[in-house]
Structure 1
Amino acid sequence: MEQDLSLAVTHLGRISGALAANLLDSRTMTIAQDGVLRVAYAPFDYIARNAKVVIVGITPGRVQATNALSAAQSALEKGKSVPESLAEAKLTGSFSGPLRANLVAMLDSVGVAEHLGVQTTADIFRPGSQDVHFTSALRYPVFVDGKNYNGTPDLLKTPLLRKMVETHLAEEAQMLPDALWLPLGPRPEAALRHLAGQGLLDRKRILSGLPHPSGANAERIAVFLGRKSPELASRQTNPAKLLSAFNAIVAQIAALKGASA
């Protein structure tokens, strides 16, 4: 299956000489709009076709989108092709620092490193690696009254947003059927399960229940990793749910390994 880059070609031709921050709010970069809901173009089209792990957020935020536009501008001005510029722009949104460390620790703990045949999943995040693909349930940045979309309105109950899931995310699902899919939060998980229900993604490859790797989830991550006793966790952390998710993912990875043996 070939990726459709027509949207990227059309919009990247409009970014020369303009400030990325201004572009994001311009009419020329608006892909679709429905009342207070607006979808803007930002260069998140690149797909790592050999990825073994796909990490799925909800949608690119304003800062991430502006950085990606700036990176694409810079690459195009250096004479790079559209596909090369898209690849560079996508790298600006990759997880780094504490986020990556937390993510690696959790993936290693549930057996993903062993499943992939590496010592640690830190290896798949090495510079230039094509083993991990970063994406979002909603590929392009979505704004509600000019603010970053945070899950309201419900993406599967909103025709404009559901269409994005069933086109852009579905395209990626079909191109990466053998990867492990890691949704970061309930909205991305719902989007992936929606595609699985349509037969576009293997439900067994969706690893649900890992806490988001942000620092705000430090206690949840600690309980998930066994670094903090469930008895010492606060009520908001819901340790029983986290431990259940941990055990379910470990079993899921083991089953996948057994099926491929």
Structure 2
Amino acid sequence: MSLTLFEEFAPVLTSLSDAEIDDPQSAQRLKMASEHIGARHVEMIYAPFDHINTSARVVIVGMTPGRFQAANALRAARRALLEGRSVAEAAAAAKTFASFSGEPMRTNLVRMLDLIGVGQWLGLASTASLWSENGDLVHFTSALRYPVFVDGQNWSGQPDMVKTPALRGWLEAYTGQELPALSDAVIVPLGPKVAAAMQALAAEGLVDGRRILDGLPHPSGANAERIAFFLGDKAAERCSTKTNTAALSRAKADLQAQVAAFTQP
């Protein structure tokens, strides 16, 4: 993908104050778009999440970078540019520093990916190494690639990004143009809203729907029971009625079959 946006914002990045970086949503110089959707004010700001790891075989897709991730990316990009590093080097440094690597839900995600066979497909002892020595095999992105805020707060799924024209446009214009560069990778959406967005891109022909691993429970600790059942750590009879164990069992079997098919000629 072109780093045109990074180049366009580079003079801004090098001149941002610490206060602007700490609260990037308030920095007028970073504004990319602003929409009133009903009674809600929705904004998209620039933060340096442009870099694409084109060697990746797994793409992990979150919702959108939050304020904390945006600040980390902006800080890393400013430092790299002021050190005299190239645009490409600075973009890569910012993306690597700010992505999901430190999040506690990583452990749940690794165990689920290993269970459905992704580690074996990649020839790894475990997908845990995607966050260390095999980092060249993974690409981190978001359905709404640049940070989105609603009424000044991190966007958390509403308004719906698939059904709301402005957000759907951002989904298609950025992530929808990014993922075709990773056509041989499998796509791991984190949660049903992101999965719906990836399926919407598949319906537009922008990604291959057969390579979307749709059905994994969201790896957040708030989803502990569904994860525990999926991993076999908790028996169905011990689960609450809120956990649809039959649906999770079907999803696990389908995902294992889907990943197994990737290795077939």
Residue in structure 2 matched with residue 150 of structure 1 by the alignment? 156
Separation in 1, partners of 2:222, 2:28: 35
Distance 1:245 1:163, change over 3 A: same
Q: Give 1:147-186 correspondences, 5 Å limit.
A: 147-186=153-192
Cα deviation 1:17-76 (Å, max 9, x = unaligned): 412124432221110011201001111111110101000111111111111111111111
One of 120, 138, 146 as aligned partner of 1:132: 138
RMSD value, Cα: 1.5
Count of residue pairs the alignment pairs up: 257
Q: Give 1:227-238 correspondences, 5 Å limit.
A: 227-238=233-244
Residue in structure 1 matched with residue 26 of structure 2 by the alignment? 25
Contact 1:113 1:121 (8 Å CA) reproduced: yes
One of 55, 58, 63 as aligned partner of 1:53: 58
Deviation (angstroms), 1:145:
0.4
Q: Secondary structure at the match of 1:130?
A: helix
- 2:247 is aligned with 1:241: yes
Residue in structure 1 matched with residue 86 of structure 2 by the alignment? 81
Q: Secondary structure at the match of 2:141?
A: strand
Separation in 2, partners of 1:230, 1:58: 30
One of 208, 213, 218 as aligned partner of 1:202: 208
- 2:198 is aligned with 1:192: yes
Residue in structure 1 matched with residue 49 of structure 2 by the alignment? 44
Runs of 4+ residues deviating >6 angstroms = none
Q: Which runs of 5+ in 2 are unaligned?
A: none
Separation in 1, partners of 2:211, 2:239: 30
* One-letter amino acid matched to 1:5: L
Deviation (angstroms), 1:128:
7.0
Residue in structure 1 matched with residue 77 of structure 2 by the alignment? 72
Deviation (angstroms), 1:97:
5.5
Separation in 2, partners of 1:102, 1:108: 10
Q: Percent identity?
A: 47
Q: Which runs of 5+ in 1 are unaligned?
A: none
Separation in 1, partners of 2:100, 2:163: 29
Cα deviation 1:122-162 (Å, max 9, x = unaligned): 22221572110010000001011001111111112222211
Contact 1:124 1:131 (8 Å CA) reproduced: yes
Give TM-score, length-normalised by structure 1.
0.93
Contact 2:24 2:70 (8 Å CA) reproduced: no
Give TM-score, length-normalised by structure 2.
0.92
Contact 2:32 2:46 (8 Å CA) reproduced: yes
Contact 1:183 1:189 (8 Å CA) reproduced: yes
Deviation (angstroms), 1:16:
2.3
Distance 1:216 1:148, change over 3 A: same
Contact 1:125 1:131 (8 Å CA) reproduced: no
